[in-house]
Structure 1
Amino acid sequence: MRVVEAFTAAYGASPATVWHAPGRVNLIGEHTDYNDGFVLPFAVPWGVTAAVTPRADRTIRLLSLQSSSGEPVTLESHEESRGWTRYVVGVLEMLGDRVAGADIAIDGDVPQGAGLSSSAALEVSVASALNELHELGMTPMELALLSQRAENDFVGMPCGIMDQAASALCREGHALFLDCRSLGSRDIPLDLAAHGLSLLIIDTQVHHEHAGGEYAKRRAECESAARKLGVPALRDVTDLAEALGRLQGDERKRTMHIVTENHRVEALIGLLRAGAVTEIGALLNASHLSLRDQYEVSSPELDLAVEAALRGGARGARMTGGGFGGSAIALVPESRLDTVRESVSSAYAERGFRAPRFLPASLAAGAHRVA
């Protein structure tokens, strides 16, 4: 394993443990997590592998195999962290006096900027390794919550719990239905191949950076709307027409998306439980239109990917992730995969967009020890 080889070369000894945590794709339930709503993500085969050995002092040495320097970064205090190291140091910060320093090597293969949550995979892999090494006894959900706090409070990204929960909890072959208020979850079997279907990830190659920007603005709009409606969160709106009559402008549109998106999550799970897997495409389409028009987090590249995929024979398609770039997903009959790829590629070429990247989505396992 190359991360073990790199760790040993950099630090002069083998790591004490090695953990892998995956990225995720969200099948449906976008921007509902920080509104206490429902989400349905699944883990993808790509993720982050962390080789870790604890230290007795407070020094943190970090090596990323994706770093151009190829050399470890040594930090004597948490305040010295910059860039990608903040996600790792944030985890250590949240663990406080339960841990000291650590020697860490990181190897990741989540496509950067594709909206597949490489940051959550990084946090959860390190948190899982430290949990084992220091015998902290934290559950996967506790590790997800700690990783979310690291991103919220240390990195400064006001994300919800979905990404970290998916990375920590998902089971192979299953999507994860998560109630983001109660943190109750259950595994939803999703055997697309049995129905002649595949999920195709379309990476627009438009890399997004929404920390502290548009993402935070959407969250603030939702919180303001909830206050005006007198509910703890938009998840609690029961009479949508009445609520919309009391709101204006962007807050009205954000509320419409969140309430209807929660309904779409529940409807999609109902279709899956009924065995109507081929019928979920319409819900994916409706989700994308809502994200485009009501939540306003799509982009020309995402819209074109969805439109061209549907023209090529996809049963449904939507942007996935925070938006402003990243990836779309398309539900495609296996016999139409080549046609859909060609349709999207041709549409991008006609518009002068950078060629998209296509990734086959399979449902992988959550965080686990690999060495």
Structure 2
Amino acid sequence: MSTNEQIFVPQYHLDDLKASKEYSAASAAGSTSSSAHSHTLVDKLPAVLEAFTATYGHPPQFIAHSPGRANLIGEHIDYSDFSVLPLPLERDMLCAVRPLPFSETQNPAVTLANSQPQRFAGRRFDLPLDGTQVTIDPSVSDWSNYFKCGLYVAQLYLKEICPERYCSRPLCGMEVLCQGDVPVGSGLGSSAAIICAVTLAVVRANMGMQYKVPKADLLRITATAEHYLGVSNGGMDQAASIYGLRGHALRVDFKPQLTATPVQFPRMGPHWDIEFIVADTLVEVNRYDTASTNYNLRVIEMLIAANILARHYGVAMNYDLSSNVRKGNLSDFMNAYLGLHRAQLDFSVDSSIDSRMKQLQLMLTLVEECLGPLRDGSSADDVSKALECSREEFTREYLMLFPIRFQVLQIYKRAKHIYSEALRVMQTLKLFADTDEHNRDFTFYTEFGALMNESQRSCDTLYDCSSPEIDALCRIARQNGAYGY
């Protein structure tokens, strides 16, 4: 069963609910943790129902559910359109919802509450009567903006599937209570979890209890929802939340189209079960608040690297015209270069894992050749010269795409991380697929652990997305028997 589903809540006593078909079905919702202390989805429902009833004086009509995710390997390469390998968690977001009937004398509104009101205060906002989109102010850092992102893309979807009904008419009002246990700012997909759950909730509230959003549509509309907050994310978190399957990793591919495929872990011998520990450093990073010096800056550095490579090697990149940047990324450069030089290559260019590995190894060679002189960092003037444009043109075309701040641009480091991390994903998939070897258990652990360790080292030294606390956790884990972190 997928880890992303909605649970219908009948209007009767909780004791009856626990015995109902709808409730028991929820217990099979995907989880990847075998911890005896973890709370399964079915255990969480009574608290959500009781909190909603205490807040609004009556029970909800349904609950929307969406889990967080951990990423095994493939850090910060989804927005370069390279494959990643996350897996879903038991930690999740639950949105209890009661749709409100439309009134001609009163504006429809959303009343929003949270099970942690001291941290996430209640909010209320009106929905436009003429069917225009709800307003999101990305300059305000407030948890309700993530709710609005989900509502925003859900409204676009409703206009797409029922234009006569939603292009000029308001959405229905809702009473909502959110309860989540994905640690905020921990890198476990808390923002994607709430956005996906809210999107499900808004569509269900407006289309009725029998309507189910196709998973492909849900992923398509939520993958870039955070762009409305000024965060240039990829679609990995949403894909893991929507398509994740219990006991499996998830291969998420972004080109030629966004797809998600469950990947089964290799069957191991006795006493060799695979176990993953997800540890929280308790250091919170708000992706929106730090985007100008971290997340968005790295996206810009990646785009610059791709365009320097394209200019240096004389290739024209084909990129998605619907993208919010329209510049071409490192995957676009790789595809353009391989297309131009296909006849001269000593390997076939296809989508197989072995071919992908050779393609990425070639890209790493080109990075050293072209960007190696920039390994110590680059000024805006250095980059302008490499792009063969004026400083003013460079500022207009790149530095104004998102709000960013920097002292030096790390073009070489970002490109090397992205291509090497994409290679590690392919090496991991190849390792998972090699199931015919005998006595491979120890070999698998050491090889997979080495790839995870290389990934973390690259995140630390090339992508600057680690921290002293993460480094300490990795060190402690390895000292106590972990094969990789």
TM-score (norm 2): 0.61
1:293 partnered with 2:445: no
Which of 74, 83, 86 aligns to 1:41? It is 86
Q: Residue 110 of structure 1 contacts residue 116 of structure 1 at CA under 8 Å; is this kept in 2?
A: yes
Q: Residue 141 of structure 1 contacts residue 169 of structure 1 at CA under 8 Å; is this kept in 2?
A: no
CA apart distance, 1:64: 0.4
1:168 partnered with 2:234: no
Q: Please give the residue correspondences for 1:275-290 in structure 2 after superposition, counting only pairs within 5 Å.
A: 275=435, 277-278=444-445, 279-290=447-458
CA apart distance, 1:265: 0.5
Structure 1 unpaired stretches of 5+: 318-371
Superimposed CA distance per residue, residues 326-367 of structure 1 (whole angstroms, 9 cap, x where no aligned partner): xxxxxxxxxxxxxxxxxxxxxxxxxxxxxxxxxxxxxxxxxx
Could you tell which deviates more after superposition, 186-195 or 120-129? 186-195
Which of 190, 193, 211 aligns to 1:118? It is 190
Which of 275, 287, 296 aligns to 1:198? It is 275
Which of 86, 89, 108 aligns to 2:148? It is 89
Show the counterpart of 2:428. Answer: 268
Which structure has the bigger radius of gyration?
2
Q: Please give the residue correspondences for 1:66-85 in structure 2 after superposition, counting only pairs within 5 Å.
A: 66-68=116-118, 72-76=122-126, 78-79=134-135, 83-85=142-144
Show the counterpart of 2:203. Answer: 131
Q: Distance in 2 between matches of 1:67 and 1:223?
A: 40
1:256 partnered with 2:416: yes
Q: Residue 222 of structure 1 contacts residue 234 of structure 1 at CA under 8 Å; is this kept in 2?
A: yes
Which of 4, 7, 11 aligns to 2:56? It is 11
Show the counterpart of 1:106. Answer: 178
Q: Please give the residue correspondences for 1:205-224 in structure 2 after superposition, counting only pairs within 5 Å.
A: 205-211=282-288, 212-213=291-292, 214-224=294-304
CA apart distance, 1:134: 3.1
Show the counterpart of 1:245. Answer: 369
Q: Distance in 2 between matches of 1:193 and 1:112?
A: 34
CA apart distance, 1:224: 1.2
Q: Which AA in structure 2 matches 1:64?
A: N
Show the counterpart of 1:141. Answer: 216
Superimposed CA distance per residue, residues 233-285 of structure 1 (whole angstroms, 9 cap, x where no aligned partner): 21243432123322223111111111111111111011112145423111001
Q: Which AA in structure 1 matches 2:80?
A: N
Q: Residue 185 of structure 2 contacts residue 287 of structure 2 at CA under 8 Å; is this kept in 1?
A: no
Q: Residue 244 of structure 1 contacts residue 255 of structure 1 at CA under 8 Å; is this kept in 2?
A: no
Question: What SS does the aligned partner of 1:298 have?
Answer: coil
Which of 187, 198, 203 aligns to 2:262? It is 187
Q: Residue 95 of structure 2 contacts residue 179 of structure 2 at CA under 8 Å; is this kept in 1?
A: yes
TM-score (norm 1): 0.79
Superimposed CA distance per residue, residues 190-219 of structure 1 (whole angstroms, 9 cap, x where no aligned partner): 268862331112211111123223111001
CA apart distance, 1:70: 8.6
Superimposed CA distance per residue, residues 144-178 of structure 1 (whole angstroms, 9 cap, x where no aligned partner): 3323333111x222211001111111011111101
Q: If each structure's strand is expressed as a fraction of its own residues, which one has the higher value? A: 1
> Residues 101, 149 of structure 1: CA spacing in aligned structure 2 closer, same or farther, 3 A cutoff?
farther
Q: Residue 54 of structure 1 contacts residue 101 of structure 1 at CA under 8 Å; is this kept in 2?
A: yes
Q: Distance in 1 between matches of 2:118 and 2:136?
A: 19
Which of 159, 165, 169 aligns to 2:233? It is 159
Could you tell which deviates more after superposition, 230-239 or 38-47? 230-239
Could you tell which deviates more after superposition, 213-222 or 61-70? 61-70
Q: Which has the higher contact order (CA 8 A, sep 6+)?
A: 1
Q: Which AA in structure 2 matches 1:206?
A: V
Question: What SS does the aligned partner of 2:279 have?
Answer: strand
Q: Distance in 1 between matches of 2:184 and 2:122?
A: 21
Which of 53, 73, 80 aligns to 2:98? It is 53
Identity of aligned residues (%): 32
Which of 234, 241, 252 aligns to 2:330? It is 234
Q: Distance in 2 between matches of 1:17 and 1:188?
A: 31
Structure 2 unpaired stretches of 5+: 1-45, 128-133, 160-165, 311-316, 318-327, 335-358, 378-409
Q: Distance in 2 between matches of 1:226 and 1:73?
A: 42
Q: Which AA in structure 1 matches 2:275?
A: S
Superimposed CA distance per residue, residues 102-138 of structure 1 (whole angstroms, 9 cap, x where no aligned partner): 2111111112332211111111111122333333653
Question: What SS does the aligned partner of 2:278 have?
Answer: strand
Q: What RMSD over aligned residues (CA atoms) do the two structures have, in Å?
A: 2.3
Q: Residue 88 of structure 1 contacts residue 122 of structure 1 at CA under 8 Å; is this kept in 2?
A: yes
Q: Distance in 1 between matches of 2:455 and 2:119?
A: 42
